[in-house]
Every structure is written in structure tokens, then in C-alpha cells.
Structure 1
Amino acid sequence: MRTIAIITKDVRKYWWLVAGGLTAIFVLEMLALYSPQLIKKAIDRLAAGQADPHGLGLIAGAIVALSLGVAVLRAVGRPSMLAFGRIVERDLRRHFFARVIALPRSAIDKQPAGDIMARATYDIDNIRLAAGYGCQAAINSILTLILALVYMIWMSPVLTLLAMVPMGAIPWLTRRQSIRFHQCHKSIQESFSALTEESRDSLNAIRLIKVFDLTAVKDRQFDRLAQTHLDNNMQLARVSALYLPVMTLVTHLSQAVVWGCGGAMAVLGMLTAGEIVAFSAYLVMLKTPLVYSGYLINLYQRAKSSCTRVDRILNQFIEALDKSSPGQVVPCQDKDTDIVIKNLTFTYPGESRPVLTNISLRFPHGTTTALVGPVGSGKSTLLQLLTRIHEPPQGTIFIGHTDITQMPLHRLRSTIAMAAQAPFVFSDTIRENLLLAFPQASDDQLWQAIEAAGLTPEIRALSQKLDSLLGEKGQTLSGGQRARLCLARTILPSRSMLLLDDPLSSVDTKAEARILEQLSHLRKGLTNLIVSHRPLSLSFCDHIVVLDGGCLEAQGNHDDLIKTCRLYRQLVLSQQIAAKLNPTAAMSG
């Protein structure tokens, strides 16, 4: 859904808020622009010697009443439009976030996180400002221009024409400045994205920067990007600085024409003194929208650039969504079915060499299968294709008889739990990290998952136990503890399929084998796929698949593969030699 479509939907849904705000603005402009007519009447009566205290008092009271009405209506109209801007901001952020987290991995890899953050904050703020305050200010300015000109023409078409002569340069100047504003804002938004990405990258790698004493290097990089951003903003300031003085000069020239030519017309009896004063008041009212037009153009161009940047994410996601969820969506018929892979060949976007080549496998429901092989053999890629983190070719992976590319993503992933190779822990309590996977879980269920992951002694040793607050990205835990906490979070929902992408690589071999075997017994009757670079930890599995260079090398149980598969024997022997040479090297954290 494009940005404009989201805003249009909000206008239809909250039409009463927009209509109320615009109505209040229209009425207050009518009241505000009638005040010079009352002043004109009072001056003309004074000039003609027809004024009396009672009549002047009534006019003064009417002016006060109009001013109070304007104040009340402004208190209604302006907040209504600002509230609408906040509604647009809320809905844009919701759509943007929902689409970003659902983007396929291939799209995420092309988009730096800092750039996405800049679009989600700076750009959506610009759109919110234009949709709320900008819309209110634009309507205000347009009504002032139209109504003031109507009153001026009604009083004196000739003087109105003379007053408008100096303003003939405004359309040309406005168009010229509009183009320059757009170019400046585009550069500012790009430099802001680069600055945000550099900040995020430095904060994520702060420990590495300190360890290798890279502070000076990162400072220079940040200073260069900050200077670029400053230069872009200064260029915008220079462009903006020209606009206000020129607009002010134009309005002052118009005032000079009114007092010069209008004064002469008053002497000749063509205008009254009150009309000259009212005419001058309307010209002063015209000054505000004319001078303010520079800000509104600036705001519009900024919002236009931001809409384009936000749409790039939304459109990218729509394209990915269409591929992921075609028009005819076939639901997952039964969770108790086999996983079947038929002639799967997969190549990463932008690469020429396939990662997996002609893979055909069957993982029977209720069994535990291991995937082993050298680094780069395609084990992790296969798991990511099963969850559609990367999109597999159609007709290659099935759950039962259903092609997973024809399933709704939420339906597919609701049947799968996956622990990634790199554990990620949120800066929150242990309880909240676990409940993320299963919000309805009881404390007993949380402790069962922790026990299955072999983390119970460490958690019970903490003073706050489940309510212990973890540091940034779980840095208060060791690598092995983070890995086991993530494993506990993965197994907590007890879904029908469990995919483990070597999540216990930071745990010692014996602990890994013990935890994985316990999980196999705990999940008896459910499907488990386990990737590990240590084959001895997987000897208990019902079935073992050996991959090499993206091809299927062999499959069978541990005893059969020891006899028949040379590569598997080499992997086992390498693990045994490593354990003898350094038995304490793989101790858990």
C-alpha cells in the first residue's frame, strides 16, 4: 500500500475530524477577514462626522466578538488537523513496521538498517507534519488569499490590480524555489540515512572498536558524514534565506502602491479613508500567506521526497508479498505430514553459482533428522528455504501435498519453530525474552523449557531468577547461556516442526549432545531437523543427511554412514581429534 493510499484511507475513516477542522478554519477566516470592514465603517463615520459613542461601541463590541470567535475556532480547527497528522503518522508507522519485519531476507540484505530507521523516523515525521499542520496552514493561506482578494476587488478593482503588479514575480520565484527545495531535501535525507547507519553500526560494534583502538578511525568517518549532512542543511538554509526577503520586499512594494495610488484616489473622491485603511489591512493579511508560502513549499517538497523514500520500502514489500502470497492461497491441510523436497536447486539473488543443487529428500513426520556437512555445504540455506526466509522455487518443497510457496506465511511459520545460528537476546528480563515466543506460557512451562535447554542451574542462581534484567543484547550472559536461552525460547511453543541451525555451537560437545538428545525425547512424535558441525552430537538421530558443496552426498543412520560415507567418517574423525588435542576448548559459557 502506497503512502498516499494510507493517507486517503485515513481521510475516509476520520472524515468527521478532517471536516470539522476544515469547517472551523473556513469560518474563522470568514470572521477574521470581516474585521477590516467594521474598521472601515467606523473610520468612515468618524470622517463624515456621523459617529456617536453608542454606534462606535457596537462596532468595537462586534470586533471583540469576532476576535473571540476566531480564537475559539482556531482552538478547534488547528488541534483537529494536528490530530489527523498524528493519526497518519501512527498508521504509516504500523504499515511500515509490519512490512519491514515481513520483508524477505533478500530484500533486507539490500537495505542498510540505518537507512530503514531513517525512513521510519525522519521521513514519516515529515509526512505527518505535511498531513496535519501543513494541510491546515495551506488551507488557511488559500482562504486568506481568496477572501482578501474578493474584498479588495469589491472595494476597488483598479487599486487591486495596481497592488498585484509587484506580485507578478511570485509564481516564477515559487516554481524556481520549489525545484531547489526538492533537490536540497533529497540530499539531506540521503545524508541523514548514511549518518544514522554509521551511528547504528558504531554502537553495535562498540566493544570491537574499543578492543582494536579504532576510536579515531570511527570519529573521522562520523565527522565526514556529519559534515556532509551539515553542508546539505546549510545549502537548504541558503536557498530558504533568499525567499523570505524577496517576499517581504514584494509585499512592501504593494503597500507603497496602495498608499501612493490609493491616497491619490481618496483625494479625488474615488475611495474613502475607511476603504484605504481596510485595503491596507487586507494587504497586510495577504503578506502572511505569501511569505509563509516559502515554508509550505519547503514542507511540501520535504514530504514529497519522504513519500518517495517510504514508498520504496512499501512497494518493495508489496512485490515480495505478491510473490509470497499469490492470489489463490492454499491453506496448510494437516500439521502431521511429511516434509518432501523435490529436485531443489537454489541460487542466491545476484549470484551465479547455486548453493543447493538437485536436492531430493523426505523428512517423515515424528522423526529427528540431522543435517551435517562442511562449512558452506548449504545446511543453513535449506532450513531458511523451509521457513521461506529465502523464497524457494515453486514446486520444490512440500508439507504433505501442499507446496509451501502456496501457503500463507503466517500459517507456515506458525507450525515451525527455528533457532538460528547466531543467538539474539533482547534487553529485557529473562521472562519477557521467553514469553516473546509464547505469551500465554505459565511459569511451569517456562521452567520446563529452561530445563530442556540445560539452563536451570544458571537461572536459579540469579537473585531475580526469571525476572532478572539482561544487559544490552544479553551481554550479562555468556555466549553459551545466550544460546541456551534462545533455544528455550524456540522450544517453548512446542510446534509441530523444530528447526535447529547449529544453535549450540558455543556449548561444549557433551552438553550439546545431552541437550539435543533430551530434546529428541521431549519432542517424540514431532518433526525435528538439526544442523550441527559436530556429527558425534547427532548420532542419536533417526536419520542423518550429509551435504557437500550443495549436493546430497549420503543419508542414513550414524552406524551406516560410518561404514559407507567417507566424508561423514572424516567429519567424525576431525571432531574426535580436536577433542583429544584440546579437551577444554569447547567448554560452555
Structure 2
Amino acid sequence: MVGKYRRVWRSYGKRPGVAALGFSAAVASALVSMIAPSLVRRAVDVLAAGGDPRRALPFALGIVGVAAVSGFLLFAQRMLLVGISRHLEHELRTEAFAHLLRLPASFFSSQRVGDLLTRLSSDVQAVRMAMGPALMYVASTTTILVSAVVLMLRIDVTLTLASLSMAPAVALTAKFFGSRIYRRWNVAQEELSRFTARLQEHLVGLRVLRAFACEEQEKKTLGELNLAYFRASLRLVNVQALFFPLLQFLIGVGFVVVLGYGGYKVVARSLSLGQFVEFNLYLARLIWPMIAVGWVANLWQRGAASMARIEELFSQTPELPALPGPRPAKPAPSKALSVAFTGVRFSYPGAPGPALRGVTLTVPAGRRVAILGEVGSGKSTLLSLVPRLLTPPPGTVFVDGRDVLQWDLEELRGTVVMVPQTAFLFSATLRENICMGKPEASDQEVWEVVARAGLEPDVANLPQGLQTVVGERGVTLSGGQRQRVALARALLLQPAVLLLDDCLSAVDRSTEAKILGELPRTTLLFATHRVSVAKTADWVVILERGEVAEEGTPSQLAAAGGRWAQLLALEELEEETMEARG
């Protein structure tokens, strides 16, 4: 069990002095509290002997003093040990999130967002409870348990053995229920992950649900997931509800034994009334440790289950910053770098066939290349390999003559920037979204990229201009506006290689052509479905089923009479038809 928490023990190792003080305070608080029963015994014996009640006053004051010191030590142990657990929670969540950022895109394509949220929230909290309050009470209750038993043995050995007759039953009960709590907590967390994932999808896609009148259907789906989580939680609660009352029953049986046997000893005068009261106070001190056995076991089982779920994240292999081996010399700064694909083959896990089938393409520095193809032809896959959003086979994709796998990942993604078709914006101001990769950008730099992305008229119409909050995922902007914000974000980084994955599909043809024409003269690869826009490129590549079907300049391909010529004719026919209707 302890081994499952190996990763988080480091938080205690970083703060040995604080941990030592915290555990010392826990032990000292428990030991100080054990003084009070002895003072009570003396006061009772004084009063039972018919002496002056004032003689019991020092003992009463002593009890008050013990309570004050014990209370201060309780405060200290909580501040120190629970404080460490809060540091642990922060560090574990930060470490887990940092690890997530290093994982490849393929990992996220197979994961539910809600599951990841649950692991970084409630699972981390469960680990904190196990490594904070639970450990604190292990220290204090163990001290109470040992010292109380020793002091009880000092009063009467046989009465002590009788009072502890139920201890084996308590231990077996804790072991029996502990494993069941572990399993049921795990199931409940999985159900919570499924519910959270679906809820997140519903909230994000609420407009789509309303547009297709799917509210009732999705309400039913979410209700079923909520019910599954409720039932899993109820099964966990049922175990816990039986666990603690059973512990209290066993402890109560022990008390009955003590009252009967101890009362007999008092009547037989083998035990004074004061000693009997003192013994019962020690026994009362044992109630919390015996209940805490179950509570701590519950926390540790839940924490262990959650830690196992978190460790599943850490077991995922992150992207390598670069392959082992000597690093080529860093290229001199330039405005554009070359890109080359050499026999690139790529398959998605579980896909029936390869997405790319031996693609070979050379893009000289500063060249503008348009990539056309039907849905599923491999355009997005090809572009995603350059910045290693997908990992290519070794020796197949090169930037500036260097295998992208030999580039430092941070350096590569600062050199090659890709703008996806689906633009993601954060719930922040428009300026903050544009400056995400370069927060220190000046106003002049921001306005330059706003102009190049064709956003100036849109910004002028916003209530607060660049300081307008765009809402979650940019909900207050249109699809075309979101795409142009994403383009402006990329342009601000002044990349040596710019990749556009049909990222202007939501704007009209003339606007797209104008924006592309005003882009800086860098190496540009852009996927598009518009032939009229592709005509502005220096070189055109047509992909079909993951292979290069045609490539050349627009004029060369038009003269060849192949697929490009067919697409040109089809687009011209569409334009003539629209003009005739209009």
C-alpha cells in the first residue's frame, strides 16, 4: 500500500523539518492528553474519601492546563501536516498537468476530457486526504493507542485484556471492508469520469443540440450516466455505512465488558473508584483510535485507488524532445526554411489502411505550396508531421535539411507553426488570444498581424476592440473570425515555416485569396479545397488516398489536362451557375 504513494512521499522529503515538527506535535498532543485521566483519578479519590473539596482544585486546574497545551499542539499538527498535504496536492497536480502537456496527440485522441479532469481534480484530492489528515491521525492515534494500553495495564492487567477482547474483530473488520472500499471507490471514480466527459461535451455543443432538437435525447443519455454514477456512489456509501456502525458496535461490546468486570472489581475493593474512572477515561481515549482505524483505512484505500489512476497518466510515454544522438548545428536565422518529405508512410492506430503511402515532396525555402485533395486524402496528416503533432517515421520529414526527429521539440515548434481548421480560442480578451504565444508583443506588432489576417473591420465593430472578451472557445465570434484570430496568433510568432490546414474555410474565396496574398514571404504550405485559392501558390500538390497524384505549377498542371484541369473546369462551371442564378 505504501509503495503506491512513492511518488508523493517526495513532498515530505522536501520539507523534513516541517514534517518532523508536525509529527512531533501530533505525538506530543496525544501524550499530553493522556495526563488528564490521572488528574481526574486523584480528584475523584480525594472527593470519594470525603476530604476538603478544595484539595481537588489543583487537579481541576491541571486538567484545564492539559487541555490548553493539547489544543495548541493539535492546532500545530494540523497547520504543519495538513499544510504539507496541500503542497503535495499542488505539486502532484502541477506535475500531472506538465506531463499531460508532453504527451503526443495520439494519447488525447483516445481519452475522454472528463476522465482527465477527474484525475486532476477529485483523484488528486483523494491522495491529499490520504497523505495529510490520514497520516496525521496515524501518528496521533498510534501514540494514544500505545500509551493508553500501557497506562491501562499499569492499573489492572486482567481488566485491560478484557477491554481489548474485541481488538482482533476490529482489525479483521477494517481489513475486510478496506478492500471493498478500494474497488467501489475506483468504480465510482470511473463513472464520475464518464459523466463529466459527457457533461463537458453537452455544454460545449449546446447550440448544436438545440439546432437539431436533441435536448430530450441527450437529457436521457446524461441522466443514465448520472444514474450510473449515483448507483456506484451508493454502493460505496452502503459499504461505508455498514463499516463504521459495525466498528462502533464492537467498541460498545468492549465497554460493556469493562463496565461489568470493572464494576465487580470496584465492589470487591480490588480497584478504587478513582482507578475505575481513570481506566474508563483511558478506554474512552481508545474509542477514536479504533474508529480512526476504519476512517484512515477508508482514506488510504480511496487514495490508493486514485493514485493508481494518476499513475496511469504518468505511465504514458511523453514525446521525445529529440532522438538520442549528436545534434546538427543550429541553422542561422533566416526568414524561411526548406521542408522535405521523403517516402512518408503513416498509419493511425487501428485504422484499416495507411493515411499516407510514400509521399515525397520538396519545398524550397520561401516557396508557397497548395495541397488539394478530398476528405481523407491525407492533407492534415501530412502537415501535422512537420511540427511533430504526429510523429513521423525516422528519416522521412526534414526541415532545413534536418530530420524533424533530431530537432529539439520546443525549437521545432517555434520554427514551424501550424494553424488548424478548427480554431480554438480561450475565454479571454481578443488580444490575449492573439498574443498567446508571445505575451510581450507590442501594440504595433498586434495590429500588424490583425491587418494581415483581415481582422481590422471586425475588431473595430467589437464593443471593446482588442480588449473584448470572446467567451469560451470564442463563442461570441463567427467561425470565420475565429479562424482569422488563430491565423493572427500564428503570424505574431513570425515562423520560418507556416502551415495552414484549410484554416480559412469559413471565409469567402476572395477574402481567403486576399489574406494569403498579404502573408509574409515565408515557407508556406496550405491545405485548401478551393482551386481559385490554390492558383495563387507557386506549386500545387494533389493528394489522393495518401499518395501524390499530381504536382507542379498551376499553369503546368492546367496544360497537362489531369485532375487539376478537371477541378479548374468544375469550379468555373460552379461560378457560372451561381452568376446565372444571381
Q: TM-score, normalization: structure 1? A: 0.93
| Residues 1:18 and 2:19 are matched in the alignment | yes
- For residues 148-547 of structure 1, the aligned pairs below 5 Å read 148-316=148-316, 319-321=317-319, 325-328=322-325, 330=327, 333-334=330-331, 336=334, 337-519=337-519, 523-524=520-521, 526-547=522-543
CA–CA distance in structure 2, aligned partners of residues 584 and 140 of structure 1: 87
CA–CA distance in structure 2, aligned partners of residues 130 and 176 of structure 1: 19
8 Å CA contact 1:404–1:412 kept in 2: the answer is yes
CA–CA distance in structure 2, aligned partners of residues 92 and 581 of structure 1: 61
CA–CA distance in structure 2, aligned partners of residues 397 and 332 of structure 1: 18
8 Å CA contact 1:18–1:81 kept in 2: the answer is yes
Shift of 1:453: 0.6
SS in 1 for 2:161: helix
8 Å CA contact 1:324–1:391 kept in 2: the answer is no
- Give the aligned residue type for 1:103: L
Residue by residue over 1:481-500, the C-alpha shift from the partner in whole angstroms, topping out at 9 and shown as x without a partner, is 12111111111111211111
Residue by residue over 1:173-198, the C-alpha shift from the partner in whole angstroms, topping out at 9 and shown as x without a partner, is 11110121112111211111111112
Which residue of 1 is the match for residue 552 of structure 2? Answer: 556
Q: How many residues align?
A: 577
Residue by residue over 1:342-364, the C-alpha shift from the partner in whole angstroms, topping out at 9 and shown as x without a partner, is 22111111124111111222222
- Give the aligned residue type for 2:460: R
8 Å CA contact 2:345–2:358 kept in 1: the answer is yes
Shift of 1:580: 2.6
SS in 2 for 1:243: helix
Structure 1 runs not aligned, ≥5 long: none
- Give the aligned residue type for 2:128: R
Structure 2 runs not aligned, ≥5 long: none
Which residue of 2 is the match for residue 106 of structure 1? Answer: 106
- Give the aligned residue type for 1:333: K
Shift of 1:266: 3.6
Shift of 1:441: 0.7
User: Could you say if the C-alpha distance between residues 439 and 12 of structure 1 is closer, same or farther in structure 2, counting changes exceeding 3 Å?
Assistant: same
8 Å CA contact 1:371–1:531 kept in 2: the answer is yes
Residue by residue over 1:268-293, the C-alpha shift from the partner in whole angstroms, topping out at 9 and shown as x without a partner, is 44433222111111111111121232
RMSD: 2.3
8 Å CA contact 2:99–2:318 kept in 1: the answer is no
8 Å CA contact 1:259–1:276 kept in 2: the answer is no
CA–CA distance in structure 1, aligned partners of residues 578 and 479 of structure 2: 19
8 Å CA contact 2:30–2:141 kept in 1: the answer is no
SS in 1 for 2:59: helix
Shift of 1:396: 1.4
CA–CA distance in structure 2, aligned partners of residues 119 and 410 of structure 1: 27
Residue by residue over 1:112-140, the C-alpha shift from the partner in whole angstroms, topping out at 9 and shown as x without a partner, is 11111121212112112222222222322
8 Å CA contact 2:102–2:318 kept in 1: the answer is no
- Give the aligned residue type for 1:293: V
Q: Which moved more, 1:330-339 or 1:458-467?
A: 330-339
- For residues 9-88 of structure 1, the aligned pairs below 5 Å read 9-47=10-48, 53=54, 55-88=55-88
Which residue of 2 is the match for residue 8 of structure 1? Answer: 9
8 Å CA contact 1:344–1:356 kept in 2: the answer is yes
Residue by residue over 1:150-183, the C-alpha shift from the partner in whole angstroms, topping out at 9 and shown as x without a partner, is 2212322222111111232112211110121112
- Give the aligned residue type for 1:556: G
CA–CA distance in structure 2, aligned partners of residues 221 and 284 of structure 1: 51
Shift of 1:418: 1.4
Shift of 1:46: 4.0
User: Could you say if the C-alpha distance between residues 579 and 506 of structure 1 is closer, same or farther in structure 2, counting changes exceeding 3 Å?
Assistant: farther
8 Å CA contact 1:42–1:51 kept in 2: the answer is no
Shift of 1:267: 4.1
8 Å CA contact 1:377–1:549 kept in 2: the answer is yes
Match of 1:567 among 536, 560, 563: 563
SS in 2 for 1:199: helix
Residue by residue over 1:513-548, the C-alpha shift from the partner in whole angstroms, topping out at 9 and shown as x without a partner, is 1110110xxx22x32211111132132323222222
CA–CA distance in structure 2, aligned partners of residues 44 and 82 of structure 1: 41
User: Could you say if the C-alpha distance between residues 325 and 311 of structure 1 is closer, same or farther in structure 2, counting changes exceeding 3 Å?
Assistant: farther
- Give the aligned residue type for 1:148: A
User: Could you say if the C-alpha distance between residues 584 and 186 of structure 1 is closer, same or farther in structure 2, counting changes exceeding 3 Å?
Assistant: farther
Which residue of 1 is the match for residue 573 of structure 2? Answer: 577
Shift of 1:49: 5.9
Shift of 1:429: 1.4
- Give the aligned residue type for 1:390: L
User: Could you say if the C-alpha distance between residues 218 and 331 of structure 1 is closer, same or farther in structure 2, counting changes exceeding 3 Å?
Assistant: farther
CA–CA distance in structure 2, aligned partners of residues 487 and 3 of structure 1: 45
User: Could you say if the C-alpha distance between residues 116 and 432 of structure 1 is closer, same or farther in structure 2, counting changes exceeding 3 Å?
Assistant: same
- Give the aligned residue type for 2:524: N
8 Å CA contact 2:123–2:303 kept in 1: the answer is yes
Shift of 1:434: 0.8
SS in 1 for 2:194: helix
Residue by residue over 1:398-443, the C-alpha shift from the partner in whole angstroms, topping out at 9 and shown as x without a partner, is 2234322233322211212211011222222111111112101111
Residue by residue over 1:195-237, the C-alpha shift from the partner in whole angstroms, topping out at 9 and shown as x without a partner, is 1112111112211211222111112112211222111222222
User: Could you say if the C-alpha distance between residues 537 and 138 of structure 1 is closer, same or farther in structure 2, counting changes exceeding 3 Å?
Assistant: same
- Give the aligned residue type for 1:307: M
Residue by residue over 1:433-492, the C-alpha shift from the partner in whole angstroms, topping out at 9 and shown as x without a partner, is 111121011111111001001111121233311112223322322221121111111111
CA–CA distance in structure 2, aligned partners of residues 385 and 565 of structure 1: 31
CA–CA distance in structure 1, aligned partners of residues 75 and 156 of structure 2: 34
- Give the aligned residue type for 1:11: Y
Q: Which moved more, 1:136-145 or 1:327-336?
A: 327-336
- Give the aligned residue type for 1:33: M
CA–CA distance in structure 2, aligned partners of residues 582 and 192 of structure 1: 52
8 Å CA contact 1:118–1:193 kept in 2: the answer is yes
Residue by residue over 1:230-252, the C-alpha shift from the partner in whole angstroms, topping out at 9 and shown as x without a partner, is 11222222211222222222222
Q: Which moved more, 1:324-333 or 1:452-461?
A: 324-333
Same amino acid, percent of matched pairs:
30
